[in-house]
Chain A
Amino acid sequence: MSEIYISRTDYEESGQRIKSIAFFVLGIGAVVFLFALNPENSNLYPPCPFHAVTGLYCPGCGSLRALHQLLHGHLTTAFGLNPLMVLSLPFLGYNLLSFIVSGIKGRQLPIVFVPAKGIWSFLAAVLLFWVLRNIAVYPFSLLAP
């Protein structure tokens, strides 16, 4: 059997260390900005393009407001604004940490291998969430941001 790998050396030589540090600095900046300025009462955050065009909510609507609430320790409010974001956060956080650590220390954290079935289920959940949060009838209206 022939085996083809995406070359790790290319990846590493293209300055993954610099990328990781840049990500880290940008990330800290974004967190500080998001902590200080509530997207609820600021027009400095771009609106969701999908919502702007269609008037409907997308699976991501409310995620920035939810992140702002999370940074202030309001888990319930954040969950009410966008439960999908809150539930995805541990996975995203681990991957971000892994990216930063591998760039700075040059060593990979253990990879999380999600079986294909798990990803398909996640996709189904996202699409269902997308549809349900646009139904303006209780209890679906709870899913709207």
Chain B
Amino acid sequence: MFCTKCGTQNDDNAFKCIKCGNVLQQVAAQKAVEVPNYLAQAILVTIFCCLPFGIPAIVFAAQVNGKIAAGDYNGAVETSKKAKMWSWVSFWVGLGFGLIYIFFIALGAMFGR
């Protein structure tokens, strides 16, 4: 990643900049507040919506944090949007399936199976 203070390239896992001593990991943690990776939502839909669409959401969540750590904030913001989208796709498809199921249960109850 690049130091946010002096722009020197550092190792991805470097805690402080090798040139100016600026604390790098803390910066990454602070930026994470501004660029959400929707990991919790991704796990939630993977476990409770029972659909494979949660998997790409987890993939993009990992990419967001990878890009944050590498200092690529524009890229992180772009990927963040994709992570959000896949969580919602999974959520709505899951909800849609649930509603269709309940509709048929209700239909069955009404006309007696």
Contacts and interface: CB of A to CB of B under 8 A. Distances in A.
B50 A60 contact: yes
Interface in B50-85: 50-52, 54-55, 58-59, 61-63, 65-66, 68-69, 71, 73-74, 77, 80
B74 A4 contact: yes
Interface centre among B7, B47, B63 (most CB of A within 10 A): B47
A138 interface: no
B101 A126 contact: no
Contacts of B7: 1
Interface in A29-60: 43-44, 46-51, 58-60
A84 B43 CA distance: 10
Given A46-B98, A58-B50, A60-B48, A4 B43 contact: no
B97 to A, nearest CB: 5
Contacts of A108: 33
A43 B104 CA distance: 11
A69 to B, nearest CB: 15
Contacts, number: 100
Contacts of A126: 46, 55, 58
Nearest to B28: A113
Contacts of B28: 113
Given A4-B73, A114-B39, A58 B52 contact: yes
Given A6-B35, A113-B29, A50 B58 contact: no
B50 A50 contact: yes
A89 B25 CA distance: 26
Contact of B97 (A2, A44, A46): A46
A75 interface: no
B9 interface: no
B32 interface: yes
Interface string A1-31: 1111110100000000000000000000000
